[in-house]
Amino acid sequence: MAAELGQQTVEFSALVRRSAEDSYLALKQLVERSRAPEDQRSDSEKKIDLLKFIAKTRQRILRLHVLAKRCQQVPLIQYCQQLAATLSSYDTCFTQTADSLFYMHEGLQHARAPIFDVPSAIEILLLGGYKQLPKCIEDLVIQSTLSEDEQKPTLKKLDTILRSKLLEVVLPKEIREVTISDGIAVLCVVGEFKVFLTLGYRGHLSLWRILHIELLVGEKSGTIKLEETRRYALGDDLERRMAATENPFSILYTVLHELCVALVMDTVLRQVQVLRQCRWKDAIRFELISDGTAAQGANASALQLAQEGELDSTGLKTPGLKIIYWLDADKNAGGSDFSSRPFLKFEPGQDTQIKCLHNSFVLDPLTGKEAIFSLDQSCIDVEKLLLKAIACNIHTCLLEIPRELSKSVSICCGSGDVVLKNEESMVADLRKIDQRL
Contact 201, 239 (CB under 8 A): yes
Task: Give the model confidence (pLDDT) of 143-186 as tens digits.
Answer: 567 777 888 888 899 999 999 999 988 899 889 899 999 889 99
Confidence of residue 95 (pLDDT cuts 50, 70, 90): very high
- The DSSP annotation for 47-75 comes to HHHHHHHHHHHHHHHHHHHHHHHHHTTHH
Task: Give the model confidence (pLDDT) of 129-145 as tens digits.
Answer: 777 766 665 555 555 67
Confidence of residue 421 (pLDDT cuts 50, 70, 90): low
Residues 6+ apart with CB under 8 A from 241: 248, 251, 255
- The DSSP annotation for 102-161 comes to HHHHHHHHHHPPP---HHHHHHHHHHSS-TTS-SSGGG-----S--HHHHHHHHHHHHHH
* Confidence (pLDDT) at 309: 41
Break the chain into its structural domains and give their ranges: 2-72, 189-395
* Confidence (pLDDT) at 185: 93
Q: What is the mean pLDDT of residues 102-131?
A: 81
Contact 366, 430 (CB under 8 A): yes
Task: Give the model confidence (pLDDT) of 329-366 as tens digits.
Answer: 445 444 455 667 888 888 887 767 888 888 888 888 88
3-state class (DSSP) for residue 222: strand
Q: How far apart are CA 214 and CA 152, in angstroms?
A: 26
Kindly report the pTM of this predicted structure.
Answer: 0.57
DSSP single-letter state for residue 331: G
* Confidence (pLDDT) at 329: 47
Residues 6+ apart with CB under 8 A from 420: 398, 401, 402
Contact 165, 199 (CB under 8 A): yes
Residue 244 has pLDDT above 70, yes or no: yes
Confidence of residue 412 (pLDDT cuts 50, 70, 90): low
Residue 50 CB: number of other CB atoms within 10 A? 14
Phi, then psi, of 376 in degrees rounded to 5: -80, 105
| Angle subtended by helix axes 12-35 and 43-71, to nearest 10 | 180
Task: Give the model confidence (pLDDT) of 283-308 as tens digits.
Answer: 888 888 876 554 443 333 444 434 44
Half-sphere exposure of 405 (CA within 13 A, CB side): 13
What are the helix and strand counts (H, E) for the chain? 11, 11
Q: How far apart are CA 198 and CA 162, in angstroms?
A: 7
Residue 224 CB: number of other CB atoms within 10 A? 19
Task: Give the model confidence (pLDDT) of 3-22 as tens digits.
Answer: 455 556 777 788 888 888 88
The torsion defined by the Cα of 326, 329, 330 and 331, in degrees rounded to 10, comes to: 40
Cα 373 versus chain centre, distance:
33
Residue 437 has pLDDT above 50, yes or no: no
- Determine which of 56-65, 66-75, 218-227, 391-400 has the lowest per-residue pLDDT on average: 66-75
3-state class (DSSP) for residue 293: strand
Residue 312 vs residue 62, higher pLDDT:
62
3-state class (DSSP) for residue 325: strand
Q: What does the mean pLDDT of the chain come to?
A: 79
Q: How far apart are CA 68 and CA 48, in angstroms?
A: 30
- Determine which of 197-211, 259-273, 338-352, 368-382 has the lowest per-residue pLDDT on average: 338-352
Phi, then psi, of 206 in degrees rounded to 5: -90, -5
